[in-house]
Structure 1
């Protein structure tokens, strides 16, 4: 599922018999998930149920988690059943696209697909958001100290959201020795640091933080331990259903330049399942011959569109084409609360690119992207027309 999975289904549904499998009951617009914890009523604008959208697309939908895949079939454990005695179904396939995504060590930003079934349902997810919002309100009422671990764009966005909606909180943003958003260009980093300083968000970049040394860490930096810690570090794949020969040392899915899943075969690599399985989006390892792609929605959908085109080429026995870096992959918009933000373009390497836009206009742009993309995922006419010309 996710951005890449839905993008693939939309392109395949008219000419193929398609089944969408996801361990969650719902799709979330994950780039906007920092805000519902401060404004829970916004969550309804960021989420849709897979069952509803699959009915509109006239494709099959299975709520379950893939457990095993070989060269002929996928074994899926249905959700709402226990791990020990859960019902499983076997899905034979002609082609398979893996878009399993990834997750942080915290499931605030990405809904859990590894936890209990309750956490995978829409109702359970809404309960989690309401619970976190209530806790934040209680912390703000007494001016508590909270910490955001990880000063990448997600951590920065969340710290800025907390400051805007809960001005009484004491907020610490803990990053690496390289400082905030180390992958961004100097101009963007300077602008973000200025915003954080202006709004009294304490930036800590020095000793490495871990739960094991947390007491010592806060003593070294001269701050009292926080009452609440939010993590935005430790991005991890979850593709254990594939043979280990198909995974990198860190668990990402190995792919060829054509986005087919590769496997280690002795001292060389070969195509897994005869080349009928593709991997797209955040679960995929670096594409050979390309700079590392950002793990966000645009490259994921671009990869999905390319995989579908290659499936059609296989069907018509035409040569497949290698994936290439599309220029929008290098665009990054980071919001700093609901009234400020920064837009980078041409960010192909860490520290590269330049700032193209600052201020409230970036927030408006992100809101337009959010609205139009969710509308497309819901099979809305306007969103579909807008994004039809992008991929």
Structure 2
């Protein structure tokens, strides 16, 4: 019986698996989802959890897979993928796990997500390992009197806001290599407005500066450019790196030099017929955000079903509107939507949409819990 295998059950893999389980005929196909952790991780909420060890938010951030498969059509396998092999026909093969086990596939969907640093680099294991991790970081933040956050993308900005909520009088410095926050996907006026909102909260900003080594052995430090800054705790808050080392086994066409997956407009991996990819890891000119799953998932689902029915995949991914909501603690933030003339949102709407709830409802829907 042909087996559809999804590698990764995060913000992209979970909705793809959820959608496929409703459309696959269980008498003709099996669906297997491989995940390195036995729970879904809702990353947009983790920064607040790391700072506060909020038990309710922990539960809302680490969600079970009990309702992931519709009609019970699918199974979860917990394991770390180390490689992919192909059969001589090139249209099937096995996924190799660190345990030594091999999982056969006839259609393969790759959504392995990103590798993160510091507090977002959760350990493998069950939920108790994650909870211990959160507690250890909350204690680090509690013990430090001053912080330096390296990287003023969404992660750095949001962590700065969470820290200021909990520690109103501690020194916080946000260091960024560019001359403005975020990146040039967004207009300069919006990027400068976010910086203004951060400075209002008495968070220091060092732009056009880099920190090459994370060294927490002292309090006085200097950037690569020689600018001094004070921090008991330096935290890297840079973007994630694609978790694609195991995909090298597919061949040279599969990955870019940086490690992103080359895909066709159908989201099939370059050089492959029965292998698809979605999420942060694909080489596509767009921001790497979980919100893009709403565009990736329908393409993958329709094309997998077409392939299994003997047709050529034809649905193409056309890209998604660029939009971002950046929290600034529980009650503030700013947003941008790349529509019309560019729509900007302030504290009230950003807090209402994201800052207060951290999009927990979206996460629950992704795994069939809402």
Is 1:259 the counterpart of 2:263? The answer is no
Structure 2 counterpart of 1:43, from 58, 65, 76: 58
Name structure 1 gaps, 5 residues minimum: 79-86, 113-118, 263-270, 287-291, 384-391
Is 1:221 the counterpart of 2:219? The answer is no
Query: Alpha-carbon deviation of 1:156?
Result: 0.6
TM-score of the aligned structures, taking structure 1 as reference length: 0.80
Q: CA 1:355–1:188 in structure 2 vs 1: closer, same or farther (change >3 Å)?
A: farther
Structure 2 counterpart of 1:331, from 323, 345, 367: 323
State the superposition RMSD in angstroms: 2.5
User: Residue in 1 aligned with 2:6?
Assistant: none
Q: CA 1:323–1:26 in structure 2 vs 1: closer, same or farther (change >3 Å)?
A: same
Q: CA 1:252–1:311 in structure 2 vs 1: closer, same or farther (change >3 Å)?
A: same
CA–CA distance in structure 2, aligned partners of residues 326 and 177 of structure 1: 25
Structure 1 counterpart of 2:93, from 73, 96, 103: 73
- Give 1:237-252 correspondences, 5 Å limit: 237-242=242-247, 243=249, 244-245=251-252, 246-252=254-260
Q: CA 1:307–1:378 in structure 2 vs 1: closer, same or farther (change >3 Å)?
A: closer
Q: CA 1:218–1:322 in structure 2 vs 1: closer, same or farther (change >3 Å)?
A: closer
Q: Contact 1:188/1:355 (CA < 8 Å) preserved in 2?
A: no
Q: Contact 2:17/2:68 (CA < 8 Å) preserved in 1?
A: no
CA–CA distance in structure 2, aligned partners of residues 175 and 376 of structure 1: 34
Q: Contact 2:325/2:334 (CA < 8 Å) preserved in 1?
A: yes
CA–CA distance in structure 2, aligned partners of residues 255 and 248 of structure 1: 10
Q: CA 1:333–1:177 in structure 2 vs 1: closer, same or farther (change >3 Å)?
A: closer
* Residue deviations 1:346-365 (CA, integer Å, cap 9, x gap): 17xxxx97343211321221
> Partner of 1:259: helix, strand, or coil?
coil
CA–CA distance in structure 1, aligned partners of residues 119 and 214 of structure 2: 21
Query: Alpha-carbon deviation of 1:205?
Result: 1.2
User: Residue in 2 aligned with 1:176?
Assistant: 177
User: Residue in 1 aligned with 2:362?
Assistant: 373
Structure 1 counterpart of 2:305, from 270, 287, 312: 312
Query: Alpha-carbon deviation of 1:195?
Result: 1.4
Q: CA 1:302–1:219 in structure 2 vs 1: closer, same or farther (change >3 Å)?
A: closer
Q: CA 1:212–1:186 in structure 2 vs 1: closer, same or farther (change >3 Å)?
A: closer
User: Residue in 1 aligned with 2:153?
Assistant: 152
Q: CA 1:207–1:260 in structure 2 vs 1: closer, same or farther (change >3 Å)?
A: same
Query: Alpha-carbon deviation of 1:316?
Result: 3.3
User: Residue in 2 aligned with 1:231?
Assistant: 236
Query: Alpha-carbon deviation of 1:373?
Result: 1.2
How many equivalent residue pairs?
Answer: 340
Structure 2 counterpart of 1:322, from 294, 316, 319: 316
User: Residue in 1 aligned with 2:5?
Assistant: none
Q: CA 1:236–1:378 in structure 2 vs 1: closer, same or farther (change >3 Å)?
A: closer
Q: Contact 2:209/2:224 (CA < 8 Å) preserved in 1?
A: no
CA–CA distance in structure 2, aligned partners of residues 378 and 258 of structure 1: 24
Q: CA 1:39–1:162 in structure 2 vs 1: closer, same or farther (change >3 Å)?
A: same
* Residue deviations 1:113-171 (CA, integer Å, cap 9, x gap): xxxxxx443111110101111221222xxxx1210000111111111111111112110
User: Residue in 2 aligned with 1:23?
Assistant: 36
Query: Alpha-carbon deviation of 1:182?
Result: 3.0
Stretch moving more, 5-14 or 184-193: 184-193
CA–CA distance in structure 2, aligned partners of residues 29 and 260 of structure 1: 26
Q: CA 1:309–1:52 in structure 2 vs 1: closer, same or farther (change >3 Å)?
A: closer
Q: Contact 1:56/1:379 (CA < 8 Å) preserved in 2?
A: no
CA–CA distance in structure 2, aligned partners of residues 219 and 130 of structure 1: 34
User: Residue in 2 aligned with 1:389?
Assistant: none
Query: Greater share of helix residues, 1 or 2?
Result: 1
